[in-house]
Amino acid sequence: MTTPDLAAARPAFRLVRHVYLAVFAVSVAALVLAFLLRDRPDLVNAVVWIRGGAVAIAAPVLVLVARAAARGSRAAFVRLRWISTAVPIGVVIIVAVPNDGYPLWMKVEQGVVGAIVLVAAVALNRSRVRALFPKRR
């Protein structure tokens, strides 16, 4: 098995790493805000802590996955494509569903995260990037 020549995809993977670093920064900022608003149960509840914490933990992991994909790992590439496509879809659901436990400010934060991740989805789903990771037979 040979690793693909990924020189052409370096900018895409650099962008994806920056996307997930930005998601990490937004998530940490949301957790700081939640801490500052912790005495307001109408603005901070368990959903805020769970979702905010999960995204803040997942983002640096996805930076590492992007590094693995940039080194030629097809499994890492496929994982990134799926996650980068699924996250914006999940965010649309979070934002659209009324009375789901998410305070409005957290829905806005999640909308920002979804929009940022959409950038990664577009970069990873370009034909020239996908062509570097052909399906195995």
Residue 1 domain-assigned (yes or no): no
Kindly state the average pLDDT of the residues 9-32: 95
Looking at the structure of the chain, the number of domains it has is: 1
Averaged pLDDT of the chain? 92
Burial 77-116 (b: 16+ CB within 10 A, else e): bebbbebbbebbeebeebbeeeeeebbeebbebbebbbeb
Give mean pLDDT, residues 79-99. Answer: 93
Percent of the chain with pLDDT over 90: 80
**Residue 23 within a domain:** yes
What's the pLDDT score for residue 79? 96
- Expressed as residue numbers, the domain containing 69 is 9-130
**Model pLDDT, residue 9:** 81
Per-residue pLDDT reduced to its tens digit, 32-54: 999 999 999 999 999 999 999 99
Q: Is residue 96 part of a domain?
A: yes
**How far apart are alpha carbons 58 and 56 in whole angstroms?**
6
Model pTM? Answer: 0.89
Tell me if 137 is assigned to some domain. Answer: no
pLDDT at 2: 47
User: Percent of the chain beyond pLDDT 70?
Assistant: 96
**Residue 28 forms part of a structural domain:** yes
* Residue 109, in any domain of the structure: yes
Yes or no: say if 66 and 20 are a contact pair by the CB < 8 Å rule.
yes
Confidence of residue 5 (pLDDT cuts 50, 70, 90): low
Rounded CA gap, 81 and 78, in Å? Answer: 5
Within a domain: 2: no
Does 4 reside within a domain?
A: no
